[in-house]
Structure 1
Amino acid sequence: MPAPALQLLSVNIGQPTALTIGPDSAAPRTEITGIHKQAAVGRVRVARLGLEGDHVMDTKHHGGPGQAVYVYTQEDYDHWAEELGESLDPGTYGENLLMAGLESATVRVGERFWVGSAVLEATAARIPCMVLAARMNDLGFVKRFARVRRPGFYARVIQEGDVGQGDPVRREAAPDGAPSIVDTFDLWFSQSRDPDEMRRYLNYPLAERLRTDIEEWLGAVRA
């Protein structure tokens, strides 16, 4: 049976919105975040640092060339509908692009996607944080997201262009031996990271933040 055709279902952009985070070790706090995404109408420009009109507020952990676009998939949302007992609207997890026809577990670092006139390259898994937990109104959601292992993926923009709902998506395989997106996700939560595997990962086009994290983890091993 042929694989389902890949298609762009939704293009989502976020405006700065106040969100209450916590409780944690301190009192609950209010942050301005761009996680609340809404479907855009018409075509949207994808530039080197992300989608035109989209706002990234936490630039320490999000955005930048290696995490310019966040992609999630309908297949992963379908799993969450079963897990949560309710369907979720596009943009709920803060994704810029919602695609159909693949699952994030099958994507590898360095894999490329032609969408509209833009070309994207997968670089890393999305790591959940308390902003996502607050968005879902579930303080335990970080652990839940980690357990399910359907993280979606960040991408760098290889070729700027414009995208729109309904665009077909063409997929190009990653370089041989490239780690999967889920490999990079599991690495973050692992209590026993393999130094040889981490060194191997550095041979591939990782997001800059992930590359820095791996180099720091390797430095701690050598220390």
Structure 2
Amino acid sequence: MPVVLSLNVAHKTTPVDYARAGVTGIDKRPVDGPREVRAPGARGTAGSGIAGDTIGDWTVHGGDYQAVYGYAREDLDWWQGELGVDLHNGQFGENLTTQGIDHTHALVGEHWRVGTVTLEVTGPRVPCRTFAGHLEQHSLGQRGWVKRFTQVARPGAYFRVLEPGRFAAGDEITVLHRPDHDVTVELFFRAVTTDADLLPRLLVAGDAVPPQVIELVHKRTTVELDS
């Protein structure tokens, strides 16, 4: 049975020189007990969907379509083998470290029941300067992290909150719904990082796709038609 291994939050932002905002909440740590989970609001006006969690830069992180970030322990273990370092739960900035469920091949628009919360998969995490700086400083000790993470394409999944509630470490994860299309988190990741020709395929996932990505697809289509 798929399960939440740990629920991870950042209690406060940390001043760093590698984040655009000068602070980051990426260093998340496991916490005991359940937390309230709700839709936080539009990006730019709200942060995390998990009570007590902190996000440093609301302009590019957080909001309804990035209310919760999940990463599979299996993928962390794979990276441990590749990098030769120990990676604790929450090391990649994930709120949910899971076991027994695949994030990479989850479908955008898939519904997961976690505790009393219903989550919807909304896409991948795209590596940024803050993520690179955090991992290079605290565990990797090497350059080129964004390129390597992008090539491997094990990005983890973002979620929005369809039904608020509470979840905690140890809660089972149940897939309630899988949409009838082939847009996986991995395909979405490839579309927005290395293969823009895939972008139009994201539209079949409907409103599970973040509005800014839909806007990107339409802009690219307009440019192609005008050229």
Q: Could you say which TM-score interval applies, normalised by the shorter chain?
A: 0.7 to 0.9
Partner residue, 1:210: 213
CA distance in 2 between counterparts of 1:122 and 1:176 reads 14
User: What is the DSSP-based 3-state SS (H/G/I as helix, E as strand, rest coil) of the residue aligned with 2:16?
Assistant: strand
**TM-aligned CA distance change 1:194 to 1:187, over 3 Å:** closer
CA distance in 1 between counterparts of 2:116 and 2:21 reads 38
Contact 1:113 1:169 in 2 (8 A): yes
Amino acid at match of 1:34: G
2:36 is the alignment partner of 1:39? no
1:91 CA drift (Å): 0.8
CA distance in 1 between counterparts of 2:200 and 2:9 reads 38
Contact 2:69 2:156 in 1 (8 A): yes
User: What is the DSSP-based 3-state SS (H/G/I as helix, E as strand, rest coil) of the residue aligned with 1:51?
Assistant: coil
1:188 CA drift (Å): 1.1
1:21 CA drift (Å): 1.3
Percent sequence identity over matched residues?
32
CA distance in 2 between counterparts of 1:200 and 1:220 reads 20
User: What is the DSSP-based 3-state SS (H/G/I as helix, E as strand, rest coil) of the residue aligned with 1:70?
Assistant: strand
CA distance in 1 between counterparts of 2:213 and 2:3 reads 28
1:208 CA drift (Å): 2.8
1:190 CA drift (Å): 2.7
Q: Give structure 1 regions of 4+ aligned residues with deviation exceeding 3 angstroms.
A: 198-201
User: What is the DSSP-based 3-state SS (H/G/I as helix, E as strand, rest coil) of the residue aligned with 2:121?
Assistant: strand
Q: How many residues align?
A: 212
User: What does residue range 154-165 of structure 1 map to in structure 2 within 5 Å?
Assistant: 154-165=158-169
1:207 CA drift (Å): 2.3
1:30 CA drift (Å): 7.5
CA distance in 1 between counterparts of 2:202 and 2:170 reads 37
**TM-aligned CA distance change 1:31 to 1:106, over 3 Å:** same
1:139 CA drift (Å): 3.3
2:20 is the alignment partner of 1:19? no
CA distance in 2 between counterparts of 1:130 and 1:150 reads 17
Amino acid at match of 2:152: V
CA distance in 1 between counterparts of 2:101 and 2:52 reads 26
Partner residue, 2:225: 222
User: What is the DSSP-based 3-state SS (H/G/I as helix, E as strand, rest coil) of the residue aligned with 2:178?
Assistant: coil
CA distance in 2 between counterparts of 1:217 and 1:139 reads 31
Q: Which has the higher strand share?
A: 1
Q: State TM-score, norm by structure 1.
A: 0.88
Instruction: Give ranges in structure 1 of 5+ residues lacking alignment.
Output: 23-28
Contact 2:104 2:157 in 1 (8 A): no
CA displacement 1:48-71 (0-9 Å, x = unmatched): 120001112211211111111111
Instruction: Give ranges in structure 2 of 5+ residues lacking alignment.
Output: 41-48, 137-141
Partner residue, 2:101: 102
Partner residue, 2:139: none
Partner residue, 1:70: 69
1:181 CA drift (Å): 0.3
CA distance in 1 between counterparts of 2:143 and 2:6 reads 27
Q: In the alignment, which of 2, 5, 8 is matched to residue 9 of structure 1? A: 5
Amino acid at match of 2:112: F
CA displacement 1:183-219 (0-9 Å, x = unmatched): 1100012355146524445x35112332233233223
